[in-house]
Amino acid sequence: MAGAGISTPSGIPDFRSPGSGLYDNLQQYDLPYAEAIFEINFFHRNPKPFFALAKELYPGNYQPNLTHYFIRLLHQKGLLLRMYTQNIDGLERLAGIPPKMLVEAHGTFATATCTVCRRNYEGDDLRPDVMSGTVPKCPTCTGVVKPDIVFFGEELPQHFFKYLTDFPLADLLIIMGTSLEVEPFASLSGAVRSSVPRLLINRDLVGPFAWRSRRPHDVVQLGDVVSGVQALADALGWTQELDALMASAAEKASTKTEE
């Protein structure tokens, strides 16, 4: 399970950190309140603030960091059952984690849907409009095309409910970079069997880890998330493999940039 804290090392501001969080930096959009930018009713009235923010967050502006590649390494070793992420930045996909191994609980920019005729689009279809500051419109019906991000007031994607079968099968739950404040995502931390170890790699104690009734197998690594994941990779003897994976990805990224 992961939240915005795994993406802040890539340069993406998180949603709640005072002074640096996205909510604190939304004043320029003249919103009635910060959360309105992710409320579906407000979006239908005025989609411009969301698309101004989408220009900043759109996949391709940022690169994955060590935490994303650690999860990719878990997958390559056949150890990843699933990654549940709150993030909409697409860095998991960019790190090479296959979409079938991901549950993007709050949606994705990878696909989009017309809000009127429900025609489906690829996220890349919207990129020229988003990057030029234009609200994307459906050529079929002229409705606004919205990335498949889950807004307040919308239902979670159907595949979120994979947790009903995934979590009882897990033999370890790693929780990284999340405040565990947004439901129903936050409650997933309690969905594994009580005998299953849970490892929190986070800046602060959150959710059940902050309660007195912690489970006996809970383990906490507080501090910088990247340092915590690096320490885990070191303890597992995976540092060389992780470094090689990141070096290979950096080389591919630079080749792509040159092209």
**pLDDT for position 244:** 96
Active site includes 159? no
Q: What are phi and psi of 129, to 5 degrees?
A: -65, -50
Decide if pLDDT at 26 tops 80.
Answer: no
Higher pLDDT, 52 or 226: 226
Range 12-24 average pLDDT:
64
Least confident of 42-51, 68-77, 230-239: 42-51
The segment with the largest mean pLDDT, out of 199-213, 216-230, 242-256, is: 216-230
Decide if pLDDT at 76 tops 80.
Answer: yes
Range 96-110 average pLDDT:
94
Give dist(CA 92, CA 1) in Å, integer.
12
Which residue from 254, 242, 215, 244 is spatially nearest to 74, judged by alpha carbons?
242
The segment with the largest mean pLDDT, out of 20-24, 43-47, 68-72, is: 68-72
Q: Using 50, 70 and 90 to split pLDDT, how confident is the model at 113?
A: very high
In sequence order, the 6+-apart residues with CB closer than 8 A to the CB of 181 are 16, 206
**pLDDT for position 20:** 57
Instruction: Answer whether 177's CB lies under 8 Å from 8's CB.
Output: yes
Range 118-138 average pLDDT:
94
> What pTM was computed for the model?
0.89
**pLDDT for position 240:** 97
Q: What angle do CA 131, 132, 136 make, to 5 degrees?
A: 80
Catalytic residue, chosen from 44, 106, 159, 217, is: 106
**Across the strands, what pairs with 108?**
148
Higher pLDDT, 208 or 259: 208
Average pLDDT taken over every residue of the chain: 91
Range 82-107 average pLDDT:
95
- Render pLDDT for 159-215 as a digit per residue (tens, 0 to 9): 899 999 999 999 999 999 999 998 899 999 999 999 999 999 999 999 999 987 789
Decide if pLDDT at 259 tops 60.
Answer: no
